[in-house]
Structure 1
Amino acid sequence: MEVDRTRIQVVDTGERSIILEPLSEPRPGERWTLRVPWAEGRTPEAAEFALVAHPSEVDTELDIARLQVPAPACPAQAECAPCSAPSAADAIASGLIDKDGVQTLAFRPFKEAASGFESTAGVSYRASTWVLVDVEIIRPPRHLAWSPVGATLTSKTGEVRVRAIKIEPNKTSPERVRLFAEAEVPPPSAGLKFTLHLNGPAGAPSFSIPSVQLPPAKEVQP
């Protein structure tokens, strides 16, 4: 809070109140400015109040609303980073794809009779620094709101840490969601056949897809 300390003394500040005491008598019509910053630090940064003395009127309560400053529009015919769609050039420039490219491999669908969950045929991708599993999940009627909260890729000889999960709803079929699971590149000792374990939220079942197969690493040419 910013005030002129030569004219105003801050007696007390609380969560919902501020007590001020003038150190001198304000002249008729004189306006003292009280500047209070917003807690989040967004634009505008602070609210300003004009303190004016009046012999017969007093404001007992102030309702304050912040005016949102709209983001500046992109100039006509200009393509800025937030406005343009991601491109192949972005993937290469960021290092997601290097000269070794991306290998892909399809894997078969799976249905778990006990829970009623299904997975369609999916595709696994492998680059030099990441692997990704792309598969559609079909949720049973009693678990249409189900969404995984974590995942792991495990084989008979190893486990791979899943870095991130992304879910895309199906606009025409609410029981279907498309799942992307990005993981670290497994060591050679882990093999290529994996089970994708999808951890359900509290009180909901988990779902495991045992048919995930990763493409082999690209052979380095001598």
Structure 2
Amino acid sequence: MNTIASVTVEVADLPAADRFYTASGLGSWVRLRASSAPTSGFRGISLSLTVSQPADVRYLVDAALDAGATVLKPVSKSFWGYGGVFQAPDGTVWKVATSAKKDTGPATGHVEGFVVLLGAADVAETRKFYVEHGLTVAKSFGRKYVEFDAGDSPVKLALYGRRALAKDVGLPADGEGSHRIALGAADGTAFTDPDGFAWETATAPASADARS
């Protein structure tokens, strides 16, 4: 099974990005590297953290905002639970959410799951591509949403329609240029998917410390 071993965020200002990810606590989930590849508008991706209660949503979002992130969707209650969306100074979109609507204790900042959500032009076709590359479907809602089995990886991969994803994170769907993201393949295979997202050989697994 070809799962995600690492997530690399490409940034224009590496020292500034390193300061943000260190201060926000998000650095345990991603690697950073410098890139001058042109990019504009929505990059077609969001990095999503799932937590157990609203207090932890607020805890993580507030830490990111204090470190310099920008609010895209304020933390709030919804039909599905509780969550918020922000954009890191480098442009990467992050979402923090929980299915719970009430707190059961004080915030700890503990993250239960990390999902890389890719916006696909055609979810069914991109799903087929990934299945052919060794991934196993764990959840599927027709042409709307697909989630793949993560195996032993702390990182899950999911697909969502590009326009639907843009709406979900509060951005216009238009965008072009680099996605500014690279996924490390656990089996060492390098390829590019139908929507232009690049997979490369991973040198080490994603940090287990991120799950603590």
Asked if Structure 1 and Structure 2 have the same fold, meaning a TM-score greater than 0.5 normalized by the shorter chain, the answer is: no
Normalised by the length of structure 1, the TM-score is 0.21
More helix by share: 2
TM-score (norm 2): 0.22
Higher radius of gyration, 1 or 2: 1
More relative contact order, 1 or 2 (CA 8 Å, 6+ apart): 2
